[in-house]
Amino acid sequence: MIAKPRKIPIHIDKLEALLRRIPSHHPKKPQIETDLAKRKAGYKGESALDYHLSFLPLKEYIIFHDLRLQSGEYFFQIDTLILTPTYILIIEVKHLYGTLSFEPEFQQLVRTTPDAEDTFPDPIIQVQKQASQLRQFLKNHKLPDIPVETLVVITNSQSRITLSDSTTYTRKHVIRDTVLVKRIEKLSAQYTTLIFNPKLLKKATRILKNSHVPSIFEPIQFYRIELDQLLNGVHCPKCNALPMQRLHGKWVCPSCYYQSKLAHIDSLVDYVLLVSDMITNREACHFLSLKRPLASRLLKIVESSKIGSKKGTKYKLEVDILIELTKKKGID
């Protein structure tokens, strides 16, 4: 059972929105592009895991993706957690390319490519720390002590793995995604003592799911970008060009000539991702580069609730509602 499905991380959506809204010559653009590429690579690697997990009998395993829990003062992030009645498995996914050299004696992973050599913290230690934090989390919620296993799974088929002298240690904790199901089956054969009966399993599932806390990422503050540096206007949903022109009740892209009635909805999503989920008529006029009467009409169509009256009215924008609106009515 997939208790918490995998979704495109909000970090990716926000970085893509930011790249649409900053000038091509902005000094922070190269760093944002690099960060977005890393996020996408990580998500691609985690998604590749789903194919292999689909071969498991899902009635026997409860799977959580992208789980962020709190233990004490700190939060810890788990790429994939598999809950069973006899043990728990934490999976840390790495989609790195190049030659990967695990050096546990120095607590590091060295990635070598034709262009560079990069050093990362040892992911084995990272996932084992997550296991320790998870044990404390379960204890805090008065759940029975249960074995917690860990794995680092390499999902990039073009990477080459090399080991230091500590081969036994590393081989136990690092595998390729192609053998993941076999390793899980081996663990299931190893752990046969029932720890979580059906009632406790249901309780643990509910606690883990309800305890997830999404991470907060505000790209404007993170990259120290001023709001007045953002590009205004309605962007083209097809080619991302800014701004589209409003002609005869439609949005027309001057770059690719794409036409849309509801292209402004995607731009309002940009506003939510980058600025706020509350917007005034004046702010909508500025961000979408619209005249006041038209902005007011468009906001009344998409708002889910509003606060205040007259000039002080603020409209509540819900991303899910905005996206659903584009699906229902279409933007072509």
Total-model pTM: 0.84
Averaged pLDDT, 96-103: 89
Amino acid at position 190, single letter: Q
Q: Cβ(9)–Cβ(39) under 8 Å?
A: yes
Mean pLDDT of the chain: 89
332 confidence band (pLDDT: 50, 70, 90)? very low
How many CB atoms sit inside 10 A of residue 4's CB?
Answer: 17
Which of the residue ranges 37-51, 213-227, 318-332 would you say has the lowest mean pLDDT? 318-332
For 307-331, letters b (16+ CB in 10 Å) and e give: eeeeeebbbebeeeebeebbeeeeb
pLDDT of residue 303: 61
pLDDT in tens, 188-202: 999 999 999 999 999
Averaged pLDDT, 134-138: 96
pLDDT of residue 327: 58
Query: The tokens of 174 are what?
Result: 């690092």
Q: Cβ(80)–Cβ(93) under 8 Å?
A: yes
* SS3 state at 130: helix
pLDDT of residue 164: 67
Distances in Å between the Cα of 195 and the Cα atoms of 137, 144, 204 are 16, 7, 11
Averaged pLDDT, 196-218: 94
> What sign does the dihedral 133-137-140-142 (CA atoms) show?
negative
pLDDT of residue 329: 47
* SS3 state at 321: helix
pLDDT in tens, 287-298: 988 877 777 777
pLDDT in tens, 252-273: 999 999 998 888 888 999 999 9
Q: Cβ(278)–Cβ(287) under 8 Å?
A: no
> What sign does the dihedral 88-177-32-286 (CA atoms) show?
negative
Q: How far apart are CA 4 and CA 63, in angstroms?
A: 7
